[in-house]
Structure 1
């Protein structure tokens, strides 16, 4: 790392905003990781059932919480203009929109959970996955409240409240996993289903606690004065929908590609489901660092956009690029060095560990592209530019990744390795397309 790296105030300010966001994002992904680790100690079938259920839940969740990401740039703009009514209105409308979307998603999956039986997964895995999935989908409702509050606070440049609640929620999840799986200290022994209930209760706490804290914390309780005066209205809902729907689709295109890749892996057996899930858990963990940087630069770019300062937008973007490339480059190197050891935290079966370690080499290769694409999406979201990025993600993940994954896995008989090579190709193409879009916007606006 260059000696003067931290002398750049854009990098310092991005790190200052990003580290609580990173910790919050990591804490969020740890819920699934902790479940996976506990389930791996019970057996490969239990672990595969948890992975399958959590992957499908993640597809549901990212679509629902994608709408909450619209709250940040809009709140940032209102905050810069010191418009208290607008901030309160955005928060109320965000709560309404996010909870409504989450409720629709919940009803859809609750009625359709039986579709697991038709996804050509190992039958013994499906039998255990259906009841597990039927529990964790309830947590989409409190998760929607948590993210509505989180993105609102980020719009105020406050990233600490989400961190505190996230860390507390994860501690609750770890403790409840132990108590409910093994029936310790008088708790019922629920076996693998204990992990599902632990996740639900932890997320219920996180959603309820954040809503309460919004109105109690000295940082945010100013909206108390006007919250009852503002109404759910079509204008704010339309503004939130415009950015939120496109963001939700961006997330869904990417996560759906990985979920479908997991279903493809399941066609080769439960061990492949486990290996895919383990490698994906580890890659998702590092992705959260890039996602935190992305959220931080969304805030910073949103501030400069409100001021119409494109020179600073360019500088803030370049600083975020440098930061994410260093961070993800470090993780990529770590995957290569420790690829044989990292999967051991999730499984004790040698064939699963061996497959997962091979996938981590491919994951190491796409760390930089993954970091770049999510960072650029964050910048473009701060600029409220969402339609073309949505098209880029659609092409990259659905037009490139999925057909290529099928061809490599089934036609060329590369199986799960071919699936991950296709994911690598998609991340590269998405990063390239998004960079082209951002570069065009910056050049076009600086030339005015």
Structure 2
């Protein structure tokens, strides 16, 4: 007579063990980071809502300036994000000295990068004029940028601090600090944009100052925690901050530069998609903007999970724990795909409900916008799933220190496969915005497939060291 399976080997027991060892830690680290990303979106939304009350010209000027700021910030983000895989690997090896140096040189890169970035921002008005913008709008954007540019340094310092705290698996403080920054931003937006309670009415300049204050507040909260919390202060991340370590700085740049290029390439892909959809008319472009906003919100969860897997894979690789690398990488992929499949079901079953939030149906064009947006969300449901797969796959490889090959995958996937499909289907085949979204999904699927296959073959390819 066969013996019954022991409780320890039952599916429920296996699931509990998997939850305790991998799913729980991934969610515990990743969800606060996702929440922080959502709060950052809320900060940007607050700026748009308040500046919008100043009129269309000033809102347009703020959009131009903020887009220029975002491109420069994205590049800095990529450079400093190298702190996470390098720091996680050093901590996994128990090399506290190397870990501390990586964080310190992350601060140095934040400061050094601001010099050329500020130089570009200072000439924002002239650059926008060269790009053919209206002189009045360019002048307003330049004035806004003069104030906004001072938020860049604290914003980049926040990234370095986030890298340290994420590697130390202290992501909840990132969520709290971002929440504090959101409150400060909303308060100073109201006081300085409109001159409330006796404050000067600074309009666009006030919005820029509010951004600088809010990022500084977030940075201060993170810095105080990183230097005073019992487990963290022993790392003395500000100790001898003036001492250079050019070898470590070069190491961060070697890893960070490909990441920065990949991030800017992805941002450029979505900017190009808006141009392609815009060729089909303002109605489709409006629908595209709504669909993109909805998908951006749900994408924050796999983005947070990808930052968690970047850390967990890096820590395991530093320890030389092959089994932990495997479990961390595939767990993040399974969880991300599950989350995105759930969001896809919502997109398929409740598209009108989601889209109607953004529309005023007293406007006769809203019904037409709704129709296009529903069709875009149907494609976006599939788009979400492959987008989740590609962001996890990329960061699994980055956790192993594999940077350059994923960059090649992303450049080909985004700018050869994605754009080619978008132009072919959206313009030449006459599918319009649906064709552009289908092309984006195809490009992201290409990257997702290649990165995850490469992670699966990490042993054969020699990506696991030690």
Superposition TM-score, scaled by structure 1 size: 0.86
| CA contact 1:76–1:299 (8 Å) conserved in 2 | yes
| CA contact 2:87–2:167 (8 Å) conserved in 1 | yes
Aligned residues: 447
Aligned match of 1:67: 79
Mean Cα deviation higher: 253-262 or 122-131: 122-131
Aligned match of 1:185: 197
| CA contact 2:320–2:465 (8 Å) conserved in 1 | no
**1:215-254 aligned within 5 A:** 215-224=227-236, 227-228=239-240, 231-254=243-266
Larger RCO (CA within 8 A; separation ≥ 6): 1
| CA contact 1:40–1:346 (8 Å) conserved in 2 | no
Asked if 1:35 corresponds to 2:52, the answer is: no
CA-based RMSD of the aligned residues comes to 3.4
269, 273, 278: which one aligns with 1:257: 269
Distance in 2 of aligned mates of 1:40 and 1:356: 23
340, 343, 347: which one aligns with 1:328: 340
Distance in 1 of aligned mates of 2:87 and 2:167: 5
97, 102, 105: which one aligns with 1:85: 97
Structure 1 or 2: larger helix share? 1
SS of the residue aligned with 2:401? coil
| CA contact 1:70–1:243 (8 Å) conserved in 2 | yes
| CA contact 2:122–2:146 (8 Å) conserved in 1 | yes
SS of the residue aligned with 1:104? helix
SS of the residue aligned with 2:458? helix
| CA contact 1:67–1:248 (8 Å) conserved in 2 | yes
| Counterparts in 2 of 1:362 and 1:193: CA distance versus 1, 3 Å | farther
Distance in 1 of aligned mates of 2:69 and 2:376: 23
Asked if 1:149 corresponds to 2:161, the answer is: yes
| Counterparts in 2 of 1:176 and 1:412: CA distance versus 1, 3 Å | farther
| Alpha-carbon distance, 1:17 to partner | 1.6
Asked if 1:23 corresponds to 2:35, the answer is: yes
| CA contact 1:74–1:155 (8 Å) conserved in 2 | no
Aligned match of 2:403: 386
Unpaired runs of at least 5, structure 1: none
SS of the residue aligned with 1:261? helix
Aligned match of 1:397: 414
Distance in 2 of aligned mates of 1:384 and 1:329: 29
SS of the residue aligned with 1:227? coil
| Alpha-carbon distance, 1:148 to partner | 0.8
| Counterparts in 2 of 1:112 and 1:185: CA distance versus 1, 3 Å | closer
Distance in 1 of aligned mates of 2:198 and 2:277: 39
Superimposed CA distance per residue, residues 314-371 of structure 1 (whole angstroms, 9 cap, x where no aligned partner): 1221111111011112222223344334345555475465355544333222111111
10, 26, 33: which one aligns with 1:14: 26
| Alpha-carbon distance, 1:223 to partner | 3.0
Aligned match of 1:203: 215
Aligned match of 2:8: none
Superimposed CA distance per residue, residues 18-40 of structure 1 (whole angstroms, 9 cap, x where no aligned partner): 22222222222322233344456
Aligned match of 2:386: 369
| Counterparts in 2 of 1:108 and 1:124: CA distance versus 1, 3 Å | closer
Asked if 1:426 corresponds to 2:438, the answer is: no
Asked if 1:167 corresponds to 2:184, the answer is: no
Aligned match of 1:99: 111
Higher-Rg structure is: 2
Superimposed CA distance per residue, residues 374-411 of structure 1 (whole angstroms, 9 cap, x where no aligned partner): 11111111101000000011111122233444455555
Distance in 1 of aligned mates of 2:294 and 2:138: 24
| CA contact 2:190–2:196 (8 Å) conserved in 1 | yes
Distance in 1 of aligned mates of 2:277 and 2:206: 26
| Counterparts in 2 of 1:426 and 1:194: CA distance versus 1, 3 Å | farther
SS of the residue aligned with 1:219? coil
Distance in 2 of aligned mates of 1:10 and 1:83: 24
| CA contact 2:91–2:315 (8 Å) conserved in 1 | no
| Alpha-carbon distance, 1:237 to partner | 0.9
Distance in 2 of aligned mates of 1:358 and 1:91: 46
Asked if 1:289 corresponds to 2:306, the answer is: no
Aligned match of 1:360: 377
Superimposed CA distance per residue, residues 280-336 of structure 1 (whole angstroms, 9 cap, x where no aligned partner): 333222222111111111121112111222222112211111110111122222233
Unpaired runs of at least 5, structure 2: 1-10
| CA contact 1:369–1:428 (8 Å) conserved in 2 | yes
| Counterparts in 2 of 1:100 and 1:358: CA distance versus 1, 3 Å | farther
Aligned match of 1:339: 351
| Alpha-carbon distance, 1:151 to partner | 0.5
| CA contact 1:55–1:259 (8 Å) conserved in 2 | no
Distance in 2 of aligned mates of 1:226 and 1:182: 38
Distance in 2 of aligned mates of 1:404 and 1:130: 37
| Counterparts in 2 of 1:198 and 1:270: CA distance versus 1, 3 Å | farther
| Alpha-carbon distance, 1:97 to partner | 1.2
SS of the residue aligned with 2:438? helix
